[in-house]
Structure 1
Amino acid sequence: MKALTTLHPSQEQASFVGFVSGYLSPDSLCAIFESENSQELFRIAITDSGIIRVYWVNGDDVYAILQQEAGYPRTSWVPLQLSVTAFGWEITREEIRITVNHQGSFQIHTPSGNFELDSFLRQHHSLRCRLSSPASESLFGLGEKVGPLNKKGRFWTQWTTDVAPHEDETDPLYQAIPFALLGQSSEFRGIFLANSARSYVDATDTENLWFGVDDGPLSLYLIPGPQISQVVARYSALTGRMPLMPTFALGFQQSRYSYMTQNEVVEIAKQFRHWHLPLDVIYLDIDYMDGYRIFTFDPVRFSDPKDMISTLDKLGISLVTIVDPGVKYDENYAVYQEGHAHDHFISYLNGQEFLSRVWPGLCAFPDFAKSQTRQWWGQWNARWVALGIKGIWNDMNEPAWWGYTENERACHPDEEVGIVHRTSSGKELPHYLVHNLYALLEAQATFEGLRHASSLRPFILSRSGFSGIQRYAAVWTGDNTSSWEHLALSIPMCLNLGLSGVPMVGPDIGGFLDNASPELFARWIQMGVFFPFARAHTAINTVRHEPWAFGEDVLRIARRYIQYRYRLLPYWYTLMYQAHIDGAPMMRPLCWYDPSDKARNIDDQFFVGEDFLVAPILREGATRRHVVLPPGLWYDIWNRQWLEGPKEIEVEASLEQLPLFIRQGAIIPLAPRILSTQYWRDTSPWPASLWVLPGHGRFDLYVDDGRTTAYQDGSFSLIQFSVHTTEDSLSVSWQWIRREFYRDIMNQPVILRIGPISGTIHHVSLNNNVVPSSRIHHAILSIPITLTSDGKVDVIFSRSNHH
């Protein structure tokens, strides 16, 4: 395959597309356009949610074939009307109008976003087209990419690749997510290139974007907005939304390549408890295995895994183990024996089993395109977690392979020629059309195996993936580096993954490669606990990266921020529910709420949900930073003062301080002080308190059992909290929206904290009963309430200043 640097047509000979006839399909669900020899060239259809699909026919649609084989939900299409015009054709559906001319240009008009597509070109098997995109329009999404938040100005490739280290110019990376989110002023729109072949987005043209694929159809889903949240919601509905993960997935997690013995693992766990550090998960990297054979423990170094797992459980810590797709070529090894006997491995066209070296040596690789293989793989994973393991970590699943002989370099796409996959119906698919889907299909196999074996929610972490990986797994950003550059880089990387439909995402806290300094680790853990997925991890031959390894000052900082992460767990859990319902990222860029030109280019700050603005320190030695405050009133938690935006400020930030601001009218549910999510599960109120900041706001608190899939059958509760503030009064009310899930612990008092109130409080009532003035301390009103029914607190006060 030729490495491309541009999709512009000037450097190569390419044929143009033209139409001579257009007509509706018999069911009127798509418009079909043909060439002179009656060859079908294009189809246009519209989904029931208003997404327009422009589809250039070109060989097998492997993505659609495997979607259907894997049982993905079918897209619902709506009937169209087609009329002939002087210049070509016009397609209409309610307020959507699409004009098509004989040269193959498309003008698409919707009430909430327009698209202009032209220059459809073919060269051999590859296809490309041009989308008009003015220079003022920002480009977001594209999954996991280096560089700034706005991706304009570069050429981007979607091809799942094992690469370490990655730097500012590295592309592609582990994930392949061909979704572009475009925005200018207050109008956003999206484009999903639904093709599993290697694909490209060329953003080097000032006024246009070029989309291209190496093979297969040019299948474009054009997603109108106009709001950024609407585009992400429609895209995530198309590719799938994350299920609720077990609550421990939101806790702090610790890993190393590798913890070498079960005694070391237990000692790490005990050290976390000794230092009063919250922790929910410890990971086992590849060295726990017997000769790197998956689904095995080393018989000497991990001689009693059940005892190790039991000890961890007593400490409130779950075990997650790495499972790579490479199955060691060993005729005495049960996993290989079964896979070989039942034809579960990838092969060449002649039927010979494909083998390549990874960590165990020569390996065979499951063919996840086949449903029988996915089921077989899921069963092995289910048996594995039956030992008490709580989750699966999928690595090396790009797939990464290093060649047949020891001195070969890593396989290049050109070296994958001749490798094929076979579907359950026997259809042969070349690997280069399945490559990008390999990790997605593996994650699906693992997820379904765990889901069918237990009522407990699966937890899977995946390094690689394609659009839709969020249906099965959390994602981390791979082998980053312990550097200030990578500390800063992780913000736009994770923001764009969130905008690409992947909400549960985070970097290796502290950096994987090289050694973190105490200052760097402190700044990273401050920031890292505000990412959806919070795991510290480091490579072999690095210094220890556990929080106590950097001295007492860093340990104290780590403890404080990890504890704050745990206090916010009810807030995080509700954000996870929101992502499950509408695809909204848990970690959001400033332009999610402020689409101005300035906000669209800010990538060193971010929101957690709607209410927290996080502005990390990203430079060595820095003790202050520039902060852009969005419109509205913001509470500076360190200086305990209200600041009014929009404006730009300089804030102090000693090593102990992460600049953090909370929106006026925020309602923040807080958990009790705990060391593990297991400890509040059955014994503590959830939440333990609610912090209400004066203003106008609403928060819908989500509650369920945190462990099982019972929520899918309606076993969950929603409580809607709201705050309304005037010049001389404030009211907080709560109302049960749904109470199918109800726990006795919710009969316990929850502390409602209101404030700071800038003024003199004269009267407070709870459900019309007077509350004594002893509940007021330092402008904070603290009232014990119960959430067994709807309720209301009213506060009467007089202002002492403007706020």
Structure 2
Amino acid sequence: MPKIQNKTEKPREPDDDYEVVSFEEYCDKPADAKSDLLSLNDNINYRIYYESLKMPKDGSGSAVEEIYDREIEGQKETSLNGQKDAPYTKLPFAPFGKSGNKFRASLFSGIIPKPRSDGESSRELRYQRFSQRRSSLQRFWEQIKSICPGMLGVGLVCVLCVAVWLVVGGALGGAWTEDKYRKLWERVHPENTEKPMTYYEMIVPEIHYHDHNNLSTKNKVNGSETAKKATFDSDEKYQRQMRPKPIQVPTKDDHDTGAKYLERTPEMLQKMCAQVTDDNMRFDCFPQDGSNEEDCLKRGCCWKLTSVPGAPYCFYPPQYDSYTFLNMTERKRGITAYYTLNRPSGYPGDFQQVCLDIMFVSGDIIQIKITDAQNKRFEPSYPELPMGYGSLKKMTYKVIVDSSSIGFKVVRLSDNVTLFNTQNIGGLILSDKFLQLSAVLPTDTLYGLGERRTRFKTDLKTRQTFTLFNYDQPPMENINLYGTQPFYMALEPSGKSHGMLLINSNAIDIVLQPTPGITYRTIGGILKFYMFLGPSPSDVTSQLANVLSTPFMPPYWALGFHLCKYNYGSLQVTRDVWKSNRDAGIPLDVQWNDLDYMKDGNDFTYDNVKFKDLPRFVKELHGVGMHYVVLMDPGVSAAEKPGTYPPFDRGLEMDVFIKNSTGQPFVGKVWNRVSTVWPDFTHPNASAYWTEMLSNFHKKIPFDGVWIDMNEPSNFVSGSLYGQCAPEDLPYKPHYIGKEGLRHKTLCMDAVHAAGSHYNLHNVHAIFEAASTYYAMAAIRGTRPFIISRATFPWMRKFAGHWSGDVASEWHDLRMSIPELLSFSIFGIPMMGTDICGFRGNTTVELCKRWMQVGAFYPFSRNHNSDTSMPQDPVSMGPEVVAASRTALRMRYSLLPYYYTLFWKAHMHGDLVARPLLFEDPSDVTTHDIDEQFMIGPYLLISPILWQGATTARAYFPGKQPWYNLADGKLLSTGGWRNVTDGQMIAVKGGGILTLQEPPEGVVSTSLCRSRPFQLLAAPDRAGRASAALYWDDGTNLSTYDESKYSIVNFTLDKQEFKSTIQSWAYGMPPVNKVTILGQKYSVKNVTLNQALCKKPVCEFTYSSKTQMLVVYNLMLLLNEPIHIQWTIQDKMPKVGTK
């Protein structure tokens, strides 16, 4: 039998386990108390158990049965020891009292304490039962003697009688006031809190407090089982609600682990299976191959054929009895429930006892953790999750845990919609290498759950299973890709939304079905979820940022255009491509090199023949305000001559490489000529090692950013180059993994890291590498790091951006780039893009032109392709692509102040940079399916042409606000569908104000643009209003925020008045030389600037009735002073007015 783990001052006897507490302590004990409050029945029951152990037994255990066979007043009691007749008389007084100094409890505690000496520890808890062989008067007299030895007077008896009366009446020192009785009554009778307090004899058989120490499970009153339910509502009050358990399930004794599980009868199972009438409600009970009726029934599941595609033949019955409720504890910030294994799951290593711990992180965030209560299991150290708590004053949910069922459900309070219900849904399976949890959802519309090639919206109308396990795989449908992002956002038809994040670094299968339902399966670790209550999609992503932190703030130059190709062949070709595109007027900021710059494919080297002058070239880039990014794979060559390759030599000295099962460095093969080892980024020395290697290389090549590739980690051999991997021995094989198992194209699962096995750490390898790279670059350069990573995991947002890998030069891949961008936006990685024009295969002029037109507006904009593909930089593709690229990229560069402000908002608040249209109006169900358009921030809509041979795109304009064409300022739409040309693909939403910087003619880079004057473009909504903010700093400083070296200016438009206000000013901004107001239907008569009439030489304006634009220009307005522009209108609108 488990014991309460009290900290004692001296060794205890086996039965010194219980704590008798006063009523005040029972009602008011703090939530973080280390001991638990138990009922009177529990105390007595516990004592009986130990007394029975001390009694002599014959072979049949008759001594115990003799005690259990006694029946007094028909009162039944159930604990983990089984149902038994209570060997005590129903007590005629309240069971709680105030503790005294000399005794452990007062007369009215319901337990007779033994006297203790002055030196005896107060934590030694010894009690004795009421004896059946003594009269009530004898027991009362013994109490008097135990309380006051030698002071047996009539006066004291009278005093005690008066005290009894006062306690019963509720007047003894305020301890038993009406409020206290009502408080106790409400704990016991939540369904009838209005009922006046009655006599205390009603309390004894019904009080049953949650038992954290697994000593008792249920109350049975008069043979009928009742269930306790704990809820948490918006008033932060706790309730206990009693309702009959629908089906009584046989359970095994928690203290007899060898007890045989009693199977349900075929009749009972058949009756339960018949309750599943809809085949879409079937949750798969036998996900392995080779299911059959016999094995299915052995698992206690239902077997029935079906014609519904994908529906399982073997499925769980309602209330599948894998676990049995033990007990539950409520606290201010959550609920903890314990369960014991009820039946074998069919998978080895079942958790014998399970802890369900639900923590209310804030009023709109919940943490749900399901663990092995007896054994510590692996949990990834990344992401670092918040330790603090938010306010619970505005609760948006309640969580229900019910002793009559396994699991929990989360209910949104505003409309009482159940958002996530696991109670008796599917089968809760918790074993060493297979963990499973199923839930019913309120909607069949989900987004997220990556990385995978799919439409943005995941439709649950058909069953689908997909795997999340980092894998070096070019993007294609129905297979796991480079990263693991186990986060979904659900969207209901009403527009309300919630999100769910699973923190687990093992391989994961996600099963979606039309119930609508979801099943999580993972092969290790624990189940740790964070739920985000929204209710809007933007609320969900902001709440996600509160848990995972906000994205890193990129340097300003990283928002420019990037150019790369695998295997330029030489530095001369690299320089020629860079120079030709720059001279052609292609806005360009960053030149990259793939691994062909390395010597023999080795990290931290460069080819001193083909790339001999690389250091000089990088300095040349810096001299014209441009930047350079290098590729850095995690694999280090293991076959160089000793003393010739410091990355390997130093790695051995610092003992930082991943080990094999024998303790030697694990050896595989990637781009290095012979063999490869991998740094263990969880090792205490790894960060110092990686910083040293990058620093030494940076002294040779002063690169500005790092591209970390192949970091799933990828391996050209499946497992070890030398020797064999240990058998993976998986009772459940994830749905999509390589033919050789988990080790396919990666390391052996038994490879050893400092933080554990590769089996547990595979999916987080990249995030440890990204963190080490980020901090190394910050130390080396002293400015904001810029890192792009192929593999991802939650929390990658803090260190790196992402690109979608080796996409093909196909129209389908062009279209799929937008769902990928949108998915990673909601994952919280805003620095995201796809290789423009495609990576694999040869592009075409038309495809590359269309891809450059949309790729120019990806947050991360880079043209890159493989060594076997034709050159595809704009100049190499010819004049048509050059013209389209130059136009699109010049527009992007003009918008960079807007982009930069969006990245600042993402960094500070978790806002999205690229976002789906559904964020504009979640209640507009048309937007729920759109993934061939996307928004940049709240005010720019990108509607590209994505189909071969098309000259227009079918575009949807959400909401009822006006939309203006950014290219010419004309009104484009007031909502709904319309066709747009490539000259109309960028629309500005009414209600926004854009800060622009027109690029110079000729060569264009961010360093040249940042010094250009600002231009403000105001797009009024239907009410004639608009607003926006501009954030500005030096674009590179790491400590901008800590040192407050930034400026924020707010702009507002209210009909015929435009203003600026200064929110913060600590860094200078360029002046404003033009203000454009769109949507002006009436001719403008005159304009005033800061209360003075607008006239030359400091101000001019034009108005066009054709475009309905007012342009105030020839300005030189400093933003550290307020701007105030007003205008008056004429009754008639001339065709063109100029003044």
Moved more, 44-53 or 595-604: 44-53
Contact 2:972 2:987 in 1 (8 A): no
Shift of the alpha carbon at 1:637?
4.2
Shift of the alpha carbon at 1:156?
2.6
Cα offsets for 1:20-63 (capped at 9, x unmatched): 111257xx655322234893421111113531111110465544
In structure 2, distance between residues paired with 1:9 and 1:430: 36
Give the letter for the 1:385 counterpart: H
Shift of the alpha carbon at 1:237?
1.9
In structure 1, distance between residues paired with 2:539 and 2:559: 26
Contact 2:363 2:396 in 1 (8 A): no
| Residue matched to 2:1123 | 791
Q: 2:845 aligns with which of 518, 526, 529?
A: 518
Q: Check 1:410–1:552 CA distance in 2 against 1; reply closer, same or farther (3 A cut).
A: farther
Contact 2:512 2:519 in 1 (8 A): yes
In structure 2, distance between residues paired with 1:141 and 1:801: 50
| Residue matched to 2:1057 | 731
Shift of the alpha carbon at 1:64?
4.1
- 1:782 partnered with 2:1112: yes
| Residue matched to 1:642 | 971
In structure 2, distance between residues paired with 1:130 and 1:246: 43
Matches within 5 A, 1:554-703: 554-595=881-922, 596-631=924-959, 632-637=961-966, 641-653=970-982, 657=983, 659-674=985-1000, 675-681=1004-1010, 684-685=1011-1012, 688-694=1014-1020, 695-703=1024-1032
Q: 1:157 aligns with which of 452, 463, 467?
A: 467
Q: 1:140 aligns with which of 447, 450, 469?
A: 447
In structure 1, distance between residues paired with 2:556 and 2:376: 41
Q: Check 1:49–1:254 CA distance in 2 against 1; reply closer, same or farther (3 A cut).
A: farther
In structure 2, distance between residues paired with 1:78 and 1:313: 45
Give the letter for the 2:407 counterpart: S
TM-score norm. by structure 2 comes to: 0.64
In structure 2, distance between residues paired with 1:388 and 1:270: 20
Moved more, 636-645 or 340-349: 636-645
Give the letter for the 1:692 counterpart: A
| Residue matched to 1:86 | none
In structure 2, distance between residues paired with 1:524 and 1:265: 22
Contact 2:333 2:361 in 1 (8 A): no
Q: Check 1:36–1:399 CA distance in 2 against 1; reply closer, same or farther (3 A cut).
A: closer
Shift of the alpha carbon at 1:538?
0.6
Moved more, 234-243 or 44-53: 44-53
Contact 1:126 1:212 in 2 (8 A): yes
Shift of the alpha carbon at 1:178?
0.5
Classify the secondary structure of the residue corresponding to 1:711. coil
- 1:131 partnered with 2:445: no
Contact 1:722 1:733 in 2 (8 A): yes
Tell which structure's C-alpha radius of gyration is larger. 2
Cα offsets for 1:556-576 (capped at 9, x unmatched): 111111111111110110111
Cα offsets for 1:666-714 (capped at 9, x unmatched): 2111113141112245xx24x5211122332211100000011131312
Q: Check 1:238–1:624 CA distance in 2 against 1; reply closer, same or farther (3 A cut).
A: same
Contact 1:201 1:212 in 2 (8 A): yes
Shift of the alpha carbon at 1:15?
6.6
Contact 1:514 1:542 in 2 (8 A): yes
Moved more, 459-468 or 304-313: 304-313
Higher relative CO (Cα under 8 Å, sequence separation at least 6) belongs to: 1
- 1:378 partnered with 2:673: no
In structure 2, distance between residues paired with 1:528 and 1:317: 20
In structure 2, distance between residues paired with 1:736 and 1:337: 56
TM-score norm. by structure 1 comes to: 0.90
Contact 1:702 1:716 in 2 (8 A): yes
| Residue matched to 1:341 | 653
Contact 2:966 2:984 in 1 (8 A): no
Contact 2:363 2:394 in 1 (8 A): no
Classify the secondary structure of the residue corresponding to 1:155. strand
Matches within 5 A, 1:127-526: 127-134=435-442, 136-153=443-460, 154-164=464-474, 166-167=475-476, 169-184=477-492, 185-331=494-640, 332=642, 333-360=645-672, 361-386=674-699, 387-403=701-717, 404-405=720-721, 412-414=741-743, 416-423=747-754, 429-526=756-853
Cα offsets for 1:276-325 (capped at 9, x unmatched): 21111111101100111101111111123221111222233211000000
Q: Check 1:108–1:398 CA distance in 2 against 1; reply closer, same or farther (3 A cut).
A: same
Contact 1:49 1:234 in 2 (8 A): no
Contact 1:23 1:32 in 2 (8 A): yes
| Residue matched to 1:536 | 863
Classify the secondary structure of the residue corresponding to 1:413. coil
- 1:19 partnered with 2:325: yes
| Residue matched to 1:65 | 381
In structure 2, distance between residues paired with 1:461 and 1:396: 12
Contact 1:369 1:421 in 2 (8 A): no
Contact 2:806 2:840 in 1 (8 A): yes
In structure 2, distance between residues paired with 1:36 and 1:513: 53
Contact 1:570 1:669 in 2 (8 A): yes
Q: 1:710 aligns with which of 1013, 1036, 1039?
A: 1039
Q: Check 1:142–1:40 CA distance in 2 against 1; reply closer, same or farther (3 A cut).
A: closer
Shift of the alpha carbon at 1:388?
1.6
Q: Check 1:644–1:800 CA distance in 2 against 1; reply closer, same or farther (3 A cut).
A: farther
Moved more, 142-151 or 286-295: 142-151
| Residue matched to 2:73 | none
Shift of the alpha carbon at 1:402?
1.7
| Residue matched to 1:85 | none
Q: Check 1:700–1:799 CA distance in 2 against 1; reply closer, same or farther (3 A cut).
A: farther
In structure 1, distance between residues paired with 2:535 and 2:396: 15
Shift of the alpha carbon at 1:405?
4.9
In structure 2, distance between residues paired with 1:433 and 1:613: 42
Give the letter for the 1:724 counterpart: D
Shift of the alpha carbon at 1:800?
5.8
In structure 2, distance between residues paired with 1:712 and 1:638: 35
- 1:109 partnered with 2:411: yes
Moved more, 346-355 or 394-403: 346-355
Contact 1:62 1:195 in 2 (8 A): no
Classify the secondary structure of the residue corresponding to 1:622. coil
Classify the secondary structure of the residue corresponding to 1:691. strand
| Residue matched to 2:1052 | 722
Contact 1:152 1:204 in 2 (8 A): no
| Residue matched to 2:388 | 76
Shift of the alpha carbon at 1:755?
2.8
In structure 2, distance between residues paired with 1:706 and 1:9: 59
Contact 1:394 1:463 in 2 (8 A): yes
Give the letter for the 1:378 counterpart: T
Shift of the alpha carbon at 1:137?
3.6
Say which structure is richer in strand: 1
Cα offsets for 1:764-784 (capped at 9, x unmatched): 111111113952153432231
Aligned-pair RMSD on alpha carbons? 2.8
User: In the comparison of the two structures, how many residue pairs are matched?
Assistant: 765
Give the letter for the 1:348 counterpart: N
Q: 2:399 aligns with which of 98, 121, 141?
A: 98
Cα offsets for 1:742-801 (capped at 9, x unmatched): 22x63x453222235332101211111111395215343223122121121112114668
In structure 1, distance between residues paired with 2:397 and 2:430: 32
Contact 2:380 2:505 in 1 (8 A): no
| Residue matched to 1:121 | 428
Give the letter for the 1:115 counterpart: L
Shift of the alpha carbon at 1:470?
0.9
Q: Check 1:66–1:579 CA distance in 2 against 1; reply closer, same or farther (3 A cut).
A: closer
Contact 1:6 1:202 in 2 (8 A): no
Q: Check 1:608–1:451 CA distance in 2 against 1; reply closer, same or farther (3 A cut).
A: same
Cα offsets for 1:135-191 (capped at 9, x unmatched): x44101224321211112432321111102x22x23211110110110112210000
Give the letter for the 1:100 counterpart: V
| Residue matched to 1:89 | none
Q: 1:32 aligns with which of 306, 315, 336?
A: 336
